[in-house]
Amino acid sequence: MAQMAYRDALNQALREEMARDPRVFLMGEEVGLYEGAYKVSKGLLQEFGPKRVIDTPIAEAGFTGVGIGAAMVGLRPVIEMMTFNFAILALDQIVNHAAKISYMSGGQYRVPIVIRGPGGAAFQLAAQHSQSMESYFCHVPGLKVVMPATPADAKGLLKSAIRDDGPVIFIESEVLYGFRGEVDEEEHLIPLGVAEVKRPGEDVTIVAWSKTLHLALEAAEALEQEGVSCEVVDPRTLRPLDKETILNSVRKTNRVVVLEEGARFSGVGAELASLISEEVFDLLDAPVYRVPGIDVPMPYARNLERAKIPTKERVIEAVHHVLYRQ
Amino acid sequence: MKRNLKGSRRVAEKDKDRVSSRAAKGAGMDARVMRHLLRQMLLIRRFEEKAAEMYALGKIGGFLHLYIGQEAVAAGAMSAIREDDYAISHYREHGHCLAKGTDPQRIMAELFGRHGGLSKGKGGSMHLFDRAHNFLGGHAIVGGHIPIATGVGFAIKYEGKDQVVLCFFGDGAVNQGVLHESFNLAMLWKLPVIYICENNWYAMGTPLEKASAVQDLYKKAAAYEMPGEPVDGMDVLAVRECVGRAVARARGESLPTFIEARTYRYRGHSMRDPSAAIYRTREEVEEQKKRDPIVRFQQCLMEQGALDEDEWRKMDKEVTDVVDEAVAYADASPEPPLGVLYEDV
Amino acid sequence: MAYRVVMPKVSDATEEGRLVKWLKQEGDRVESGEPIAEIESDKGVLEMEAFSGGVLRKVIGREGEIYPVGAVLGVIAEPDENLESLLALGAGAGAPPATPAPGPAERAQASAEKAVRPAAEPAPTPAEKVKASPLARNLAAEAGIDLSQVRGSGPGGRVVKEDVEAFLQARAAAPAPTPAAARPPLRAVSRPSPEVEFEERDLSLMRKAIARRLIQSKAPVPHFYLTTEVDMEGCARLREAIGALGDLPKVTYTDLIIKACAVALTRHPEVNAAFMGDKLRLYSRVRIGLAVAVEDGLITPVIRDADRKGLRQIAEEAHELAARARDRRLRPEEYTGATFSVSNLGMFDVEEFSAVINPPEACILAVGAVADKPVAEGGQVVVRKRMRLTLSCDHRAVDGATGARFLQEVKRILEQPALLAL
């Protein structure tokens, strides 16, 4: 085990997978010479050469499609979106092609592609560079959607994503790249679709992923001080969702708060709320309560930005709410 | 409200003068190859005619886009590549799939939505895939598959192979941004991709002159310094030769090519556009039919003595039988079991 | 004569049409043959004409919705005509598709309908209207409780898990006033048979609640303890004097201690407090919880505003609450909301002990037995009635000196009980 930053864990995963499998290549804007806009691909060009670490022009739909085509005929592309905001330009490629080719071809063709990059709210980057888009991708059958919150998860999940035979949307957290944690430097794989209880508790379940996991943990710590015990569950993979781990937690606590940085309407949190009320309705002592992003584009001003996204205070309030405390 | 469509009218004249046309020069070619090309075109046409009938009978649902009139492009282009080369196409792709060598029975069954179809009935007319023949699919978002073709070229080069990929699309796709992104990447990275625009002059009902600032579509390649050439898409030998040149360039120099095959569809955009007479005149269609790729090529072969009346009748009978068998197979094939719904996601 | 406005069959190909737009509003007068609405079919949009003249009395069809041919979209009638029978027919003739939540206009319409329609179903009985969380419903069903008997503490009176548990706690001790509910019999007096090493008993809901509450207290709340010894001679004399007055309730040492604590708390409000995570809450009211042992557990009824109540009232309340606590007939509001607690184990001859704080309260006072003890007084050993008090404090809210000053005040009052009268 070693202490390392989230960014370096991702780098290690890429390096290990590229060394293991010559079919794996990394393509995207600034991934080579510049070593990635967020330095995730540091040293990879040097180690693997320009054939496998490929700088592209700014043409997201184009190079995403290139990845899909390459994947159809046997390669294992890792396509970097400089930020996931730009993946919207490639949405047709991702949604209409990558996600559907296996199904449309009756399983004749698979598309083992990883589309990865930072997503989520960042700091004062305003509406076009600071948004959470997991719910867009989660709505698409045929895609897997992974959002690691810790360096260890980042490494283990990226390696599994690269080995997966279908398209994986791998959304990193822009603000967690420097976040440090223990990472297994040996072969470290975390299966897709498996959630983890990041903190056990009794009274309330908090479901949170990516950056909001850390908010949830901070809130849980503060709530412990008042005698409220929170169980924090990190789905890690949003699609396919590890329903059982979440439901088992709710079976124990009877109360749920769902955190989500993305906008409330049609968010992943709505799916979770629906799942929970359908599956364990009779065990709920309070309605599932969501702490989502406000339904507005991301503002620039610091105070407005803070008001737009979930905060520790809002999480604590939500926990009080489901406990019927004021 | 029939407009005078200058652009389309221009086709015949222009192609006569400027676009390489080989129909009259088939002499000297292997008669077997020529008969094969004729047979391929005939198979596509008979298959499509039968498909139209099956659609009217309600055996085929959804959209059905017929290729009738354009057969020379698929047959000619596919005859210029090897079996292990790739092809990828749009939603008017029955012809390409047949020409690539796919069993017509599997195609018809797919059109019928049956379990015996290429995709077990999950793709339908617009999404024919045949991995066994390196046919990478029919794709129904206009232009959406062009970057994918580019990626296949990328993979070929990445793995050091000498295959090529043919990418078919219509004149409507030329104005999509991804075409330009793809052209840039293919030329930037020197990829063995042959982009074949089947210019039938109408993107659904919009004539080319209303859609493109440049009427000579092949010229768009010049912006990327990519080789680009027009070809008479109603002339199977011309297509074969033109694609052959591009294939040689792709295999030899790993260079992409943009081919504009000028052709014409006789039927509407889809079966839901049966008359196809709102945006073009009947006279125009009749005029174009004079250039029919099958009739002209058949006459050419007969003139050269590469085909006689008996052989022609026999060929038509054989092809018709193949199509009838395809229908019989599709009819006999069961509906996909419901479990198939959850497979291959 | 009233006429229904129905979705017309405008095309052979379809059996439905979309109501694009009303050209007339409810209440408008329309002439026969006048266009009243736009209808869209597979043939395009066309105007629908009124079959008859009159007033467009009711608009039922909503713009944008698709209706089957024959569906009633509205009613044209004379202003004074009764529409009741017509509307009843209309519903059968072809009601529009499932209707989403009404907008303001529909609500207005709904209330209009109410006025027209005869009273339909009787109002739901109160039992059907009990608001309860699904879990609470489940627990109540398991325990055979009628939910309408349970007071809900959630929003809008929603019965939640805690309410059901509290109800069970309160009922458990009661001498089965209703036919025996489906709950396991208490076996507090039975002993494990000697043949087996141990017996495992299912936890009662109260036992579970105690376990949970105390873990919530003991683990996260940093306790510290202060002990002092109090001379109770004065209190003993006071009790005697009150007893001699006759016709008054018996005043126990506990009652005196409750009152003393209440008075001391008003002088040391920083002890009448709760640590709330990021805030310290100082209560303005004094509510003393009194731990009462009951079968299979304990419960803490609350004496509210003990500082403002006289000894007599405190004594009466404490006695009455304790009795009902032992019968498990306390209502939830009677055992929640304490700001400070007192636990007396003196009757068991316990000399002194440390109590576990009942969160979020900051302190609890543990009371030992009043006993004759030799004490040094003026160089002489004399026998005095003495009692030991131990104050448990949540160090996050209360510091040592703060707690000590409070305890000193309690001691001072108890040793000079005249202070209680002031």
Task: Identify the residue whose tokens are 């266009």.
Answer: C35
Compare CB distances from C138 to A225, A282, A316 and report the shortest one's residue: A282
Q: Where are the alpha helices (DSSP H) in C246-386?
A: 253-267, 311-326
* pLDDT for position C187: 35
pLDDT higher than 90, residue C5: no
Hey, where are the domains in chain C? Answer: 3-96+103-116, 222-421
* pLDDT for position C114: 40
Nearest CA to A258 out of A216, A229, A219 is that of A216
Same fold, A2-183 and A196-322: yes
pLDDT higher than 70, residue B3: no
Compare CB distances from C135 to A226, A229, A254 and report the shortest one's residue: A254
Asked if residue C19 lies in contact with residue C94, where contact means CB atoms within 8 angstroms, the answer is: no
Asked if C153 lies within 8 A of A224 by C-beta distance, the reply is no
State the chains in contact with C (3 or more Cβ–Cβ pairs under 8 Å): A
* pLDDT for position A63: 98
In 3-state terms, what secondary structure has residue C343? strand
Average pLDDT of the residues in C136-154: 88
Q: Residues with Cβ < 8 Å from C178, sequence gap 6 or more?
A: none
Asked if C161 lies within 8 A of A222 by C-beta distance, the reply is no
Compare CB distances from B155 to A51, A74, A141 and report the shortest one's residue: A74
* pLDDT for position C105: 43
Compare CB distances from A225 to C136, C161, C277 and report the shortest one's residue: C277
Asked if B147 lies within 8 A of A25 by C-beta distance, the reply is no
Considering the candidates A16, A29, A35, A60, report the single residue annotated as catalytic. Answer: A60
Mutation target for A interface from B97, B176, B345: give the one with most A CBs within 10 A.
B345
What does residue C81 show for φ and ψ, rounded to 5 degrees? -75, 145
* pLDDT for position B330: 98
Residue A224 known to be catalytic: no
In this structure, CATH architecture of domain C222-421: 2-Layer Sandwich (3.30)
Whether B111 contacts chain A with CB within 8 A: no
Domain holding B172, by residue range, is 6-22+37-331
Residues shown for chain C = 422
* pLDDT for position A176: 97
Average pLDDT of the residues in A144-155: 98
Hey, where are the domains in chain A? Answer: 2-183, 196-322
CATH class held by domain A196-322: alpha beta
Q: Is chain C adjacent to chain A, meaning 3+ CB pairs within 8 angstroms?
A: yes
pLDDT higher than 80, residue C199: no
The string of DSSP codes covering B50-71 is HHHHHHHTTSS-S-----TT-H
Residue of A nearest to C221 (CA): A225
CB count, 10 Å around CB of B271? 18
| Confidence label for B228 from pLDDT (cuts 50, 70 and 90) | very high
Higher pLDDT, C94 or B217: B217
- Tokens of residue C177, six digits: 């006033």
B108-122, B251-265, C70-84, C356-370, range with the lowest pLDDT: C70-84
Asked if A66 lies within 8 A of B150 by C-beta distance, the reply is yes
A44-48, A121-125, B241-245, C186-190, range with the lowest pLDDT: C186-190
Average pLDDT of the residues in C18-23: 88
Residue A172 known to be catalytic: no
Asked if B147 lies within 8 A of A62 by C-beta distance, the reply is yes
* pLDDT for position C368: 94
Alpha-carbon gap, residue C358 to B152, rounded angstroms: 70
Average pLDDT of the residues in C100-108: 42
Average pLDDT of the residues in B232-242: 97
pLDDT tens string C281-307: 888 889 999 998 887 788 889 999 999
Asked if B129 lies within 8 A of A142 by C-beta distance, the reply is no
- Tokens of residue A36, six digits: 């990635």
Whether B181 contacts chain A with CB within 8 A: yes
Higher pLDDT, C208 or B99: B99
* pLDDT for position C15: 75
Q: Mind telling me how many Å the CA of B331 is from chain A's nearest CA?
A: 19
What does residue C351 show for φ and ψ, rounded to 5 degrees? -75, -50
Describe the crossing of helices C311-326 and C253-267 by its angle, rounded to 10 degrees.
120
pLDDT tens string A271-306: 999 999 999 999 999 999 999 999 999 999 999 999
Q: Mind telling me how many Å the CA of C30 is from chain A's nearest CA?
A: 43
pLDDT tens string A202-253: 999 999 999 999 999 999 999 999 999 999 999 999 999 999 999 999 999 9
- Give me the residues of C, 127-156, that contact A with CB < 8 A: 133-138, 153-155
* pLDDT for position C48: 80
Q: Residues with Cβ < 8 Å from A137, sequence gap 6 or more?
A: A94, A143, A145, A169, A171, A239
On whether residue B32 sits in a domain, the answer given is: no
On whether residue B266 sits in a domain, the answer given is: yes
Q: What is the CATH number of the domain that holds B239?
A: 3.40.50.970
| Confidence label for B14 from pLDDT (cuts 50, 70 and 90) | very low
Chain A positions touching B181 (Cβ under 8 A) are 57, 59, 61-63, 65
* pLDDT for position C123: 42
* pLDDT for position C247: 79
Name the superfamily (CATH) of residues A2-183.
Thiamin diphosphate (ThDP)-binding fold, Pyr/PP domains (3.40.50.970)
Chain A positions touching C360 (Cβ under 8 A) are 226-227
* pLDDT for position C121: 42
Amino acid found at B149: A
| Confidence label for C178 from pLDDT (cuts 50, 70 and 90) | very low
* pLDDT for position B271: 82
CATH class held by domain C3-96+103-116: mainly beta
Size of interface A-B (CB pairs under 8 A): 138
